[in-house]
Amino acid sequence: MNEATTHDGLRVYRHHIAGRDVAGSDGRTFASINPTTGAPWAVFPDGSAEDVDRAVAAALAAWTSGPWASLGPSKRGRLLMRWGDAISEGAERIAELEVRQNGKLYREMVAQLRVIPDWLYYYGGLADKIEGRVIPLDRPSVLNYTRREPLGVVGVITPWNSPVFLTILACAPALAAGNTVVVKPSEVTPAGVIEVARLAETAGIPAGVVNVVTGLGATGKHLVEHAQVAKISFTGGIESGRKVAAAAGARLAPCTLELGGKSPNIVFDDARLEAAEAGIFAGIFAAGGQTCVAGSRAYIHATIFEDVVGRLVERARKIELGDPMAPETQMGPIATSAQRAKNESMVGRALEQGARLLCGGRRPAIRQFPNGFFFEPTILSNVAHDSELCQNEVFGPVLAVIPFHDEDEVIARANDTAYGLAAGVWTKDLSRAHRMARALAAGTVWVNMYRAMAFNSPFGGYKQSGIGRHNGLEAIDQYLQTKSVWCELSDEVQDPFVLRT
């Protein structure tokens, strides 16, 4: 096992490099806090530049000369599928680790762990379908064809809200393409990622193909700046994404960036209100609003605004907060104390600027967990369009409700942010639905549904919500490079310095 238990009851984890669990080179560690209890539960190494070097060296060796390098694509694909099977078998155990780290509901994390294998099955099936093509040149004696080849070592940096899921979203296409990976998980949630890395080798994936180095921000910086890391996949906030892109760009390394959103959920007056209400509710309060696609701006047609908002407020006040492991709990804690403080401060500033608090906005008293990082489901109205709350990602259970009168108005407002990750539209009018889907500047538009994702449907953002795509064929293309091969087939000597008559 990777972890051991210290005398004070904390679990002690190590890096996972070249198939082994290894301690940090300089002995520095950090603690992971259980957000439900507010108490530390595990200790992880704070990775140094030397630790990152070791992990990258292991990944590079596996890619260039190890068994992964010589493995055929069909066999590589079958190993990814076996990895999916191993994760499926360990879903309940890994889900419990996820809950302990970020406070999301156990039933949600189990459901997520049970669909994660679908990504490995899909990309495992694509591994032997990566093809080049023959270019039809006008020179019949020349054969020109392309090869699609892996990039090398891919650095994967993941956030704390869905750590294992987002790790697999990057690793599955990267590995199917023939690359190897070094993962730096969020310091808030490293345990589940370490566990699935160990399961990769249990499934037969060679040592060194999947490596995990834990640590704080400096560890990620070392990975991004490493000269032998061919590509970076980063999921996180805009400011961190800019730093990653700048550091990678300084050495001309490509990036896939998924940087969050400020997603509008738009309800027209002809919508099925029960469905729209459920979609708004799930879009912002599921996972405590700690999702990149959280529908944090609800635009509701003025003729139905008061009715829909009244129903949302009534339901929000009844949400059962508490132990995320308990089946009756509907919302757990915020993942970190810092994130809860951000939620509070953004709500407070919105109220100072004239917003109206309809419900929530406070730390609830949870008798069982007095030190947990809980925050009430919050709904605000009268939020100015140019305010911080309306323009910036909260990443918590905070909803701004805004009335509108017509399509042009709501399109202009919905698009007037730096983000463009997702949007929801609720209407029975088919023509309007397609007009809205075309007009909204978002990488995903859901019509009469919200917060859906599939392994074969591309996902990513417009504008500052990111660069590149997860999922589908587009994702695997981003972990490949194209080589053009030219072959002269005739025996005639091609000498441009010899004059011919």
Catalytically active residues are: 258, 292
Rounded CA separation 434/444 (Å): 13
List of residues 6+ apart from 424 with CB closer than 8 A:
263, 264, 265, 266, 279, 280, 283, 295, 445, 446, 447, 449, 450
Mean pLDDT score, 45-60: 98
Whether pTM > 0.75 for this model: the answer is: yes
**What is the DSSP-derived secondary structure letter of residue 361?**
-
Token output for 284: 């912002």
Rounded CA separation 407/384 (Å): 19
Q: What's the CATH fold of domain 48-130+139-259+461-484? A: Aldehyde Dehydrogenase; Chain A, domain 1 (3.40.605)
> In which band, very low, low, confident or very high, does the pLDDT at 7 lie, cut at 50, 70 and 90?
very low
> In which band, very low, low, confident or very high, does the pLDDT at 492 lie, cut at 50, 70 and 90?
confident
pLDDT exceeds 90 at position 4: no
> In which band, very low, low, confident or very high, does the pLDDT at 2 lie, cut at 50, 70 and 90?
low
- Report the side by side order of strands in the sheet with 378-381: 356-359, 378-381, 398-404, 297-301, 264-267, 422-426, 444-447
Q: Is 470 helix (H, G, I), strand (E, B) or coil?
A: strand
By CB atoms closer than 10 A (0-12, 13-18, 19+), residue 93 is exposed
Residue 17 confidence (pLDDT): 98
Domain ranges of the chain: 48-130+139-259+461-484, 264-447
Give the model confidence (pLDDT) of 290-337 as tens digits: 999 999 999 999 999 999 999 999 999 999 999 999 999 999 999 999
Percent of the chain with pLDDT over 70: 98
DSSP labels for 363-374? ----TT-TTS--
Torsion angle of alpha carbons 445, 448, 452, 458, nearest 10°?
A: -30
Asked: is 264-447 a CATH 3.40.309.10 domain? The reply is: yes
Rounded CA separation 413/440 (Å): 10
Rounded CA separation 210/193 (Å): 10
Residue 493 confidence (pLDDT): 85
Give the model confidence (pLDDT) of 107-163 as tens digits: 999 999 999 999 999 999 999 999 999 999 999 999 999 999 999 999 999 999 999
Residue 203 CB coordination number (10 Å):
18
Instruction: Classify each residue of 208-246 as buried b or exposed e, where b means 16 or more C-beta atoms within 10 Å of its C-beta.
Output: bbbbbbbbeeebbbbbbbbeebbbbbbbbebebbebbbe
Residue 498 confidence (pLDDT): 82
The rounded radius of gyration (Å) of the Cα atoms in the chain is 25
Torsion angle of alpha carbons 134, 140, 143, 145, nearest 10°?
A: -20
Give the model confidence (pLDDT) of 86-110 as tens digits: 999 999 999 999 999 999 999 999 9
Q: Mean pLDDT for the chain?
A: 96
Q: Is 99 helix (H, G, I), strand (E, B) or coil?
A: helix
Residue 500 confidence (pLDDT): 67
Mean pLDDT score, 206-219: 98
Give the model confidence (pLDDT) of 354-405 as tens digits: 999 999 999 999 999 999 999 999 999 999 999 999 999 999 999 999 999 9
Token output for 120: 């490995």
Token output for 10: 């904390």
Percent of the chain with pLDDT over 90: 96
pLDDT exceeds 80 at position 499: no
List of residues 6+ apart from 200 with CB closer than 8 A:
83, 86, 209, 210
Residue 495 confidence (pLDDT): 83
Mean pLDDT score, 331-344: 97
Residue 501 confidence (pLDDT): 60
Q: How many helices (H) and strands (E) does the chain have?
A: 16, 22
